[in-house]
């Protein structure tokens, strides 16, 4: 299986561990991720002022490049890039007049017709590789590590445009983690917002939002929380030092990318997964659960 | 044009024996014409038999229904066929032929006395559909002690003899030897001149409401399940006990429009009866649990019916039910509590209630078999599968096919008074056909002219 792959800015800078683990975990499953030539920033938010066609040009250029390179699928790891690219594609398919304007502006040899499918790695792993193949490959597996799957907003909403899972009761990441040998914990806030960009301007607003997710996952018995979004990862990870000051009984919970857990489950060398960059170091929890045990130290 | 060889048959077929089908059958039968009444369940009464009390009078539903079920059961002009479904309908108005499959009950009803010994001794208990899963019944069962007919059926999926090959306890204890494990389905052919469809409704599938727990939170129940908790003949004998641990809930949240008035995600229409029955639920809850608090989340309150608004005011003013205008966004379990997140749009605040139990007023939806029957008869259903009237203003119980009439919640959400009025209207339509056929036996069928 071979797909064009869109890493995105954050995975090339802050979230290099996500990028590396995503590519290696994919490789272990026989999925070759070919980095899209000359990709550019997705725009980081889907433009809500839809009359401004130029806002769509950035994300659209990646779709055009995929088509020009002969690809029919653009695989994305970052939940936010996935959201922006997928919604852009959806919008262009629904609005031929905008697409025509964009094609005129981009002046590429072949006009884009909406033929590329933007897909998240979760989708590719679960539906193209399949849970059974993942289960077979998951040696040594996660040994019953208790994981809370956290989806956040970007993987789920708007439901009809993203169409990856039921936003009110998502399960695709839970299924993947269970196939890796994790014990997936049930908690109610899988799809609640972590606070997103509020962290920059009003951390007092985002902190309760993140706390609600982390504490519910912790109460459900999670040893690790898994995400597919660098911003969620940052919020949920970074705020924990402050949560510990504010709530005396607060127990820190490592926040990991689901692909890091895939790499560990497949017995890959986690050097370069960037564990040392996490604010709450996941290694003690992983070692305690015996998940790091079978792996050569880097 | 060729004339039918025989005169049209003044015999009605009524499909569905809820309050609509029963009313229509009784009106026709009391006018002196024969009726065949077919019901899918083992006994008649439909949804109304599950209800505790009816709004706005708080009449005991069983008490006002039982005389009707008994009358239907013993009426000389009503041929009652329960535990049966209509498989096929052929023919023309005036000369319909219906094939009816009566499911094998495993019990010879012709010699069963309804003594109940088999039910008492049956060792297998399974969740009861009639009690909306809150109570349990035996593998040989009647729907309720007041069942008409009061004859049991064997649930072959759970019966120990059918699943494991041994037991036969019911056979041993039956004093008349009525147990017949090898009984087979029976195919009946009946002829009728006119047909009334009164196939009733189902509730919106709660597993599709992920934001409300998708049916996975035991203390989040449907309004119909709450009726069973309120009912003296229900699984808790009328005491309010929550399903998870049997404790009396002290804070109960009622959520209206769960799946109704939601064109984006669920059904776009108003289910019509929920505002009133939710007011009734909250009121009756406060009567049973005087130190309990009842909350109702609503979009707006629709009490368009005689004495309905007064009933609502009574719930608010006398019974201190707290009404919050806004939608509930999320319901989840947190320890022993069921947490409800919602909006109070009058104060502009977000609301979080740590409740003990939640009652969802889930949308009324048509039964899938209604669509099947409509296709068989060549009549129309709407986009959701409700039966379509010939004209919603001027012919509300007629269909596009002469001789085929409709009544009750199979046509759309409606309450008991409207259902009964509509059933009588459908019966009057049938009777006017029969009267005309009697006056003018030579006439070709009205619909052909």
3-state secondary structure of A75: strand
Last residue of a domain, one of A88, A120, A152: A120
pLDDT < 70 stretches in chain B: 1-5, 441-449
Residue at A251 is within a domain: yes
Q: Are residues B196 and B86 in the same domain?
A: yes
Task: Show Cβ contacts of residue B129 under 8 Å, excluding neighbours closer than 6 positions.
Answer: none
Say yes or no: A109 and A21 in one domain.
yes
Q: With an 8 Å Cβ cutoff, are A167 and B210 in contact? A: yes
> Is there a contact between B211 and A188 if contact means CB atoms under 8 Å apart?
no
Best B206, B207, B211, B219 residue to mutate vs chain A (most A CBs within 10 Å): B211
- How far apart (Å, rounded) are the C-alpha atoms in residues B86 and B370? 11
Distance from CA of A255 to the nearest CA of B (A): 22
Residue A226 falls inside a structural domain: yes
Contacts of B162 (CB under 8 A, 6+ apart): B154, B156, B181
First to last CA, chain B: 10
| A168 → closest Cβ in B210, B333, B339 | B210
Which residue among A168, A189, A216 places its CB closest to the CB of B211?
A168
From the list B103, B94, B136, the residue with the least C-alpha distance to B119 is B136
Residue A168: its chain B contacts at CB < 8 A? 209-211, 214
B288 and B410: one domain? no
Mutate which: A160, A168, A205, vs B, most B CBs within 10 A: A168
* A166/B209 CB distance under 8 A: no
Tokens of A175: 């299924």
Q: Parallel, antiparallel, or unpaired for β B293-298 and B251-258?
A: parallel
Model confidence at A49, pLDDT cuts 50, 70, 90, reads confident
Q: Which residue among B210, B334, B339 sits closest to A169, beta carbon to beta carbon?
A: B210
Smallest Cβ distance to B332: which of A166, A167, A188?
Answer: A188
- Total Cβ atoms within 10 A of residue A146: 17
- Quick one: pLDDT at residue B220? 98
pLDDT at A188 over 50: yes
pLDDT in tens, B198-255: 999 999 999 999 999 999 999 999 999 999 999 999 999 999 999 999 999 999 999 9
In a domain, A293, yes or no: no
Per-residue confidence (pLDDT) for residue B276, from 0 to 100: 98
**Cβ neighbours of A188 in B, within 8 Å:** 330, 332-334, 339
Residue B257: which CATH number?
3.50.50.60
- Chain A residue nearest residue B214, CA to CA: A169
User: What's the pTM?
Assistant: 0.90
CA distance A168 to chain B (A): 5
**Which residues span the domain enclosing B257?**
204-364
Q: pLDDT (tens digit, 9 = 90+) per residue, B256-305?
A: 999 999 998 999 999 999 999 999 999 999 999 999 999 999 999 999 99
| A188–B contact, CB cutoff 8 A | yes
3-state secondary structure B368-418: HHHHHHHHHHCCCECCCCCECCCECCCECCECCCCCEEECHHHCCCCCHHH
Would you call A165 helix, strand, or coil by DSSP?
coil
Interface test with A, best of B330, B338, B341 (most A CBs within 10 A): B330
User: pLDDT band at A235, cuts 50/70/90?
Assistant: very high
Residue A194, Cα to own-chain centre: how many angstroms? 14
State whether B401 and B360 are in the same domain.
no
For CA atoms B68, B70, B72, B75, the dihedral sign is negative
Does A201 contact B at CB distance below 8 Å?
no
Residue B2 placed within a domain: no
Q: What is chain A's Cα-based Rg? A: 19
What is the SS3 assignment for A110? coil
- Number of structural domains, chain B? 3
- Is B6 a domain residue? no
First to last CA, chain A: 29
Query: Would the CB atoms of A168 and B334 count as touching at under 8 Å?
Result: no
- Considering its fold, how many domains does chain A have in total? 2
Domain extent, residue A58, equals 2-120
Same structural domain for residues B244 and B381? Answer: no
Residues 205-264 of A with CB under 8 A from B: 216
The three-class DSSP label of residue A36 is coil
Q: Report the alpha-carbon distance of residue B279 to residue B285 in Å, rounded.
A: 10
Cβ-based neighbours of B20, under 8 Å, separated by 6 or more: B46, B198, B200, B407, B408, B409, B410, B419, B420, B422, B423
- The whole-number pLDDT of residue A291 equals 87
CATH number of the domain bearing residue A36: 1.20.1050.140
Predicted local distance difference test score (pLDDT) of residue A236: 96
Residues in chain B: 449
Mark whether A211 and A277 lie in a shared domain: yes
Which chain A residue has its CA at the smallest distance from B207's CA? A169
Question: Using one digit for the tens of pLDDT, what is the confidence trace for A239-251?
Answer: 899 888 888 888 9
pLDDT of A25 > 60? The answer is: yes
Q: In this prediction, what percent of chain A has a pLDDT beyond 70?
A: 98
β B12-15/B35-38 pair status:
parallel
Which of residues A92, A120, A148 is at a domain's end? A120
pLDDT value for B442: 63
């Amino acid at each position: 299986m071979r797909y064009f792959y869109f890493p995105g800015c954050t995975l090339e800078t802050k979230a290099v561990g996500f990028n590396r683990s995503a590519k290696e975990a994919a490789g272990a499953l026989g999925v070759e991720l070919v980095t899209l030539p000359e990709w550019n920033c997705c725009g980081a938010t889907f433009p809500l002022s839809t009359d401004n066609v130029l806002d769509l040009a950035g994300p659209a250029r990646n779709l055009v490049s995929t088509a020009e390179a002969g690809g029919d699928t653009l695989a994305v790891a970052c939940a936010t890039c996935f959201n922006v690219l997928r919604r852009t594609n959806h919008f262009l398919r629904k609005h031929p007049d905008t697409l025509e304007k964009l094609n005129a502006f981009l002046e590429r040899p072949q006009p884009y017709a909406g033929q590329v499918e933007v897909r998240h790695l979760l989708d590719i792993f679960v539906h193209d590789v399949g849970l059974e193949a993942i289960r077979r490959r998951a040696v040594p597996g996660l040994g019953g590590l208790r994981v809370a799957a956290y989806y956040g907003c970007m993987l789920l909403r708007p439901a009809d445009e993203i169409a990856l899972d039921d936003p009110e009761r998502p399960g695709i990441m839970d299924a993947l983690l269970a196939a890796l040998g994790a014990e997936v914990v049930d908690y109610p806030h899988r799809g609640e917002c972590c606070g997103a960009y509020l962290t920059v301007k009003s951390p007092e607003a985002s902190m309760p939002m993140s706390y609600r997710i982390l504490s519910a996952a912790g109460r459900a018995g999670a040893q690790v929380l898994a995400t597919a979004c660098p911003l969620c990862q940052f919020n949920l990870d970074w705020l924990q030092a402050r949560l510990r000051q504010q709530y005396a009984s607060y127990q820190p919970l490592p926040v990991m990318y689901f692909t890091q857990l895939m790499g560990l489950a497949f017995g890959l060398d986690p050097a370069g997964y960037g564990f040392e960059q996490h604010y709450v170091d996941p290694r003690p929890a992983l070692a305690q659960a015996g998940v790091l045990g079978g792996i050569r130290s880097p | 044009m060729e004339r039918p060889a025989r005169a049209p048959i003044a015999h009605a077929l009524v499909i569905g024996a809820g309050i609509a089908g029963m009313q229509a059958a009784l009106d026709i039968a009391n006018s002196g014409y024969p009726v065949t009444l077919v019901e899918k369940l083992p006994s008649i009464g439909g949804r109304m038999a599950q209800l505790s009390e009816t709004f706005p009078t708080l009449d005991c539903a069983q008490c006002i229904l039982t005389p009707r079920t008994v009358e239907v059961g013993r009426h000389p002009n009503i041929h009652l066929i329960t535990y049966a479904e209509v498989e096929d309908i052929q023919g023309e108005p005036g000369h319909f032929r219906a094939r009816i499959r009566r499911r094998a009950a495993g019990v010879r009803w012709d010699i069963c006395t309804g003594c109940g010994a088999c039910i008492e001794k049956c060792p297998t208990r399974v969740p009861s559909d009639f009690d909306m899963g809150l109570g349990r019944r035996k593998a040989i069962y009647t729907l309720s002690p007041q069942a008409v007919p009061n004859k049991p059926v064997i649930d072959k999926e759970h019966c120990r003899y059918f699943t494991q090959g041994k037991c036969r306890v019911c056979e041993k204890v039956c004093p008349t030897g009525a147990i017949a494990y090898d009984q087979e389905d029976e195919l009946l052919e009946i002829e009728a001149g006119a047909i009334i469809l009164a196939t009733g409704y189902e509730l919106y599938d709660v597993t599709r409401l992920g934001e409300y727990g998708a049916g996975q939170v035991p203390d989040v129940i449907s309004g119909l399940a709450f009726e069973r908790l309120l009912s003296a003949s229900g699984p808790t004998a009328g005491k309010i006990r929550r399903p998870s641990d049997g404790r009396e809930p002290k804070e109960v949240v009622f959520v209206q429009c769960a799946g109704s008035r939601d064109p984006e995600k669920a059904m776009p229409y108003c289910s019509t009866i929920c505002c009133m029955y939710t007011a009734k639920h909250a009121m009756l809850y406060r009567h049973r649990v005087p130190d309990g608090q009842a909350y109702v989340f609503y979009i707006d309150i629709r009490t368009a019916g005689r004495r309905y608004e007064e009933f609502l005011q009574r719930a608010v003013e006398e019974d201190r039910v707290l009404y919050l205008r806004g939608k509930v966004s999320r319901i989840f379990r947190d320890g022993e509590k069921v947490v409800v997140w919602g909006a109070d749009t009058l104060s502009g605040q977000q609301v979080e209630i740590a409740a003990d139990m939640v009652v969802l007023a889930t949308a009324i939806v048509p039964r899938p078999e209604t669509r099947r029957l409509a296709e068989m008869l060549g009549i129309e259903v709407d986009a959701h599968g409700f039966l379509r009237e010939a004209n919603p203003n001027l012919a509300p119980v007629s269909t596009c096919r002469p001789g085929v009439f409709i009544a009750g919640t199979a046509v759309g959400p409606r309450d008991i008074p409207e259902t009964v009025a509509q059933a009588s209207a459908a019966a009057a339509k049938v009777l006017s056909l029969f009267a005309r056929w009697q006056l003018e036996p030579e006439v070709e069928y009205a619909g052909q002219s």
